Each structure stands twice: as C-alpha cells, then as structure tokens.
C-alpha cells in the first residue's frame, strides 16, 4: 500500500471538491435569485426527481466494477465493453420511468420537457461515473478530479452566461447539459489514451453477472437515499414549512462536510479491495487507521461547531435562521459517525459482504422512520436531528458487529486512540469556551491547542509519524 499515492489521490480529489463546493454555493444563489420562486421550484423538482430514480441507469455496476478491476486490471476491457451497452439500455428505461412519473403527477408541459432534459443530463453523469470507476480502480484520482473540476467550472460559466443572456429556465437547463457533455468528452479521451479503448460487447451472461453483483450496491443506494431524505419529507408533512426550513438550512451545512466522504470512498475503496484479495491482514490495519484518522479530524470539528454554532448560523443565514443553531449542535455528530461508518462500509464491500451493508441500511431506514414518527410530533426539527444521529449510531454498532464476525473488527488499540482524541478535543473545546474568542480567531487557536495536547498525551504513535513523513516525502 503506497501511502503517498493514497495521499496524492486524496489531495487531487479534495482540491476538486473544494472548488466544486465553492462554485456550487454561488451558482445556487445566482440561479435562485434569477429564476424566481416558481421557475426555481420547477428546477428543484426535476433535479430531485432525476436523482431519485438515477439508480435505474446504473444498478450498482460502477461500484462493482471498481472492486473487480482494482484487483485485476485486465478485467477492464470486458467490464467496460459490456457495461456501456447495458447501461445504455438501462438509461432508456430510466428516461421512460421519469416520463411516466411526470405524466402521472400531472406536471405542466414545461416541467415534463425540462424533466426529460435533466434525465438525459443524469444519464451523462452516470456514464462519467462508470469511467471514473476505472480511474479509481487504477488509483488515478487526478483524472477524476480534473474531470470534476471541468464539469463544475463550465457549469458555473454556462449558468452565468445563461443569466446574462436572459435565457430563462431553458438556458439554465442547457447550461447543465453542455457542461456534462464537455466532461464526458474529456473523460472518454483520458480513458482511451491512458487506460482502455472500450470495445462494445453483447455478452448477455456478463450483463446478468453485472446485474447480480451490482444489485446489492444498488439496493444499498436506494435505502441510503431513503434514509437521508425521509426526515425532511416527514418533517414537512408532520410539522410544516417553517420547521422544514430550519432543519434543511442546517442540513445544507452538514452536506458541505459530508461531500468529503465521497473523496475518502473514491480513494480507499479500491485500496481495500486489493488488500482483501492479497493482504487480508492489512485490511484490518487499514480500517483501524482509517477510523483513527477520520476521528482525528471530525471529532474536534464537531466540538468547535457546537461552541460556535450560533455564530456560524448568523454568518451564513442571518437572524431569521437563529433557531437552526440548536439543530446544528445535534446534526454535526452525524458527520463523525458518517465518516466512521463509511470506513466500515468500505471494508465490508471490499470483503464481498455488500448484502450485509444493504441489510444494515434497510434496518437503519426503518429505525429512522419509526424514530421520526415518535420524535418529530413532539420535538419538531430537534426530534428529527436526534433521530438522524441515533440512526447513525445504530449503523455503527451493526457494522462493527458484522466486521467482528469476519474477524475484521478494529484492534483494541483503537479504543485507547479514540479516548485520547476525545480528551484532546474536550480540552480544546474547554479552552475555546472559557476564552470567549471570536469564531475566526478560535480556528488557529483550536488547532494549536488540539495538536499540543495530542502530542502531550501521545495521541500520535510511531506509525502515524511514519505516515506523516511519507505524505510530506521525507
């Protein structure tokens, strides 16, 4: 396992994700203000609809291909050759499903047409994801990062151009499509030049294999989508728009942090798949270290956010969303468990236990719905926040149990490491709380206090120091 390769991939993808987050933040504001409530509502509806059913055009193939090709690069030709026509067929089915839903919901003509265009845009994205899978399997995160940057820079530019030309909702829609077309052109060029020139194959037995092995990943994605969307839907139905707005505003902030979860998945999943196939004992070590390093980052961030949540909400949303600070205090802990659970899920998927992951998310989705039904009527958005965090904790417990059955549960040293991380974070938080520093001044102070305490209590062992040296090339 090449630590510098892993860090290089994470650096490329992290840089790309930061650029994406910044640009998306601004184009969302510009688009909402330009289109107005009605047209922006149409845009939000069709984007949400296309995302809800997007799994139809993939059926988990991309994740399965990453796992298989990362173990044996020679498989890329057969997988790509068969996945391309298979996905094309599934994409036709997907677009027909979108059309059917638009028709039965009695959507307006413009909504139907815009919805179909966004379905087409989603198809392009899914093919890009397929090719990204090859990049990830070869641990070449730079190509995916560049493609993602091209996509989002062009989306921003085309949206600004559409607004400047006063092209309306149609212009905004075509801005997304043109940006995705440019992205897939670049992606196909890199694929053919550096990896494999796809040769179309119609091996229906192979298609069946893709569907069978990809289905658990698809099922997990379906329940994952339900799990992370149902709270907002139920809050709106049970309480109303105001509570939903408060909760959703906070969720947007959480999403900014959870975007980096995709970076971890893209980099470490192929590595873990290799380790399971070749060095199974190292997979356990990698999991333990992953949990430790993810906790090193997320736990102190959670403590910092809890102390400065009113300032964060005030700075971003203003006084009208002041109540969202309470929600942020609770929801920030979903970030901690999401990252840890992500590491555990990757280990299970890499170990060909994707059905276990699916079962866990089914249980979590049902548990989340029941908790929301109990807590939301009594405690509104705070109840929804608590339900989300408790569901993440349930996932953590179930995944650790599943790993234990495979003899892959993290080593006992991780418990001591976690306690040290918690102690260093609490000391950092206490210092900030009693110092009454401004939010911005508190950031460097928090980092210094956290690292100093960490070194004093020996939070970093020799392996960690070795990893740091490898990263900086010493």
> Can you tell me the distance from the alpha carbon of 348 to that of 125, in angstroms, rounded to the nearest whole number?
26
204 with 147: CB under 8 angstroms? no
Q: How confident is the model at residue 315 (pLDDT cuts 50, 70, 90)?
A: confident
For residue 25, the number of C-alpha atoms closer than 13 Å in the C-beta half-sphere is 14
pLDDT for 232 beyond 70: no
Q: Which of 328, 342, 452, 352 is nearest to 399 (CA)?
A: 342
Threshold 0.75, pTM exceeds: no
The predicted pLDDT at position 245 comes to 61
Taking only the tens place, the pLDDT of each residue in 372-407 is 999 999 998 899 899 999 999 999 999 888 888 877
> Can you tell me the distance from the alpha carbon of 393 to that of 103, in angstroms, rounded to the nearest whole number?
40
Taking only the tens place, the pLDDT of each residue in 93-149 is 999 999 998 898 777 888 899 989 999 998 998 888 878 777 776 667 678 788 888
Q: Which of 235, 104, 126 is nearest to 184 (CA)?
A: 126
pLDDT for 305 beyond 80: yes
Taking only the tens place, the pLDDT of each residue in 178-208 is 999 999 999 888 888 877 777 887 877 777 8
Mean pLDDT value of segment 227-236:
67
Taking only the tens place, the pLDDT of each residue in 422-443 is 999 999 999 999 988 889 999 9
Tell me the chain's radius of gyration from C-alpha atoms.
23
């Amino acid at each position: 396992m090449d630590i510098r390769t892993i860090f290089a991939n994470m650096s490329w993808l992290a840089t790309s994700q930061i650029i994406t987050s910044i640009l998306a933040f601004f184009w969302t504001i510009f688009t909402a203000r330009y289109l107005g409530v009605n047209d922006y509502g149409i845009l939000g509806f069709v984007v949400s609809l296309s995302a809800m059913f997007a799994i139809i055009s993939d059926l988990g193939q991309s994740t399965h291909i990453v796992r298989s090709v990362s173990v044996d690069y020679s498989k890329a030709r057969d997988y790509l050759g068969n996945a391309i026509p298979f996905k094309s067929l599934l994409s036709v089915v997907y677009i027909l499903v979108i059309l059917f839903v638009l028709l039965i919901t009695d959507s307006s003509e413009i909504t139907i047409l815009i919805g179909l265009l966004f379905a087409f845009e989603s198809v392009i994205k899914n093919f890009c994801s397929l090719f990204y899978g090859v990049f990830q399997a070869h641990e070449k995160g730079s190509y995916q990062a560049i493609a993602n940057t091209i996509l989002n820079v062009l989306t921003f530019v085309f949206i600004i151009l559409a607004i400047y030309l006063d092209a309306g909702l149609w212009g905004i829609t075509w801005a997304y499509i043109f940006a995705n077309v440019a992205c897939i052109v670049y992606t196909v060029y890199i694929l053919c030049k550096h990896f494999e020139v796809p040769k179309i194959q119609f091996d229906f037995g192979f298609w069946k294999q893709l569907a069978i092995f990809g289905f658990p990943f698809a099922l997990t994605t379906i329940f994952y989508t339900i799990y992370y969307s149902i709270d907002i839907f139920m809050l709106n139905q049970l309480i109303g728009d105001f509570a939903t707005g408060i909760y959703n505003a906070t969720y947007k902030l959480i999403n900014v942090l959870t975007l980096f979860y995709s970076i971890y998945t893209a980099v470490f999943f192929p590595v873990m798949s290799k380790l399971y196939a070749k060095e199974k004992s190292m997979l356990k070590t990698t999991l333990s270290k992953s949990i430790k390093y993810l906790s090193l980052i997320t736990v102190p961030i959670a403590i910092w956010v809890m102390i400065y949540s009113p300032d964060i909400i005030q700075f971003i949303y203003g006084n009208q969303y002041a109540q969202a600070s309470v929600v942020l205090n609770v929801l920030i802990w979903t970030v901690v468990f999401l990252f840890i659970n992500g590491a555990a899920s990757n280990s299970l998927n890499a170990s060909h236990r994707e059905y276990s992951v699916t079962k866990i998310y089914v249980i979590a989705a049902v548990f989340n719905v029941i908790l929301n039904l109990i807590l939301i009527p009594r405690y509104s958005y705070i109840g929804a926040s608590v339900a989300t965090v408790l569901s993440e904790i349930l996932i953590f417990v179930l995944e650790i149990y599943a790993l234990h059955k495979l003899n892959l549960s993290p080593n006992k040293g991780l418990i001591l490491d976690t306690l040290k991380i918690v102690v260093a974070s609490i000391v950092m938080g206490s210092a900030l709380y009693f110092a009454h520093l401004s939010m911005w001044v508190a950031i460097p102070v928090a980092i210094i206090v956290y690292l100093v305490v960490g070194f004093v209590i020996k939070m970093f062992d020799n392996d960690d120091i070795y990893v740091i040296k490898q990263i900086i090339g010493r």
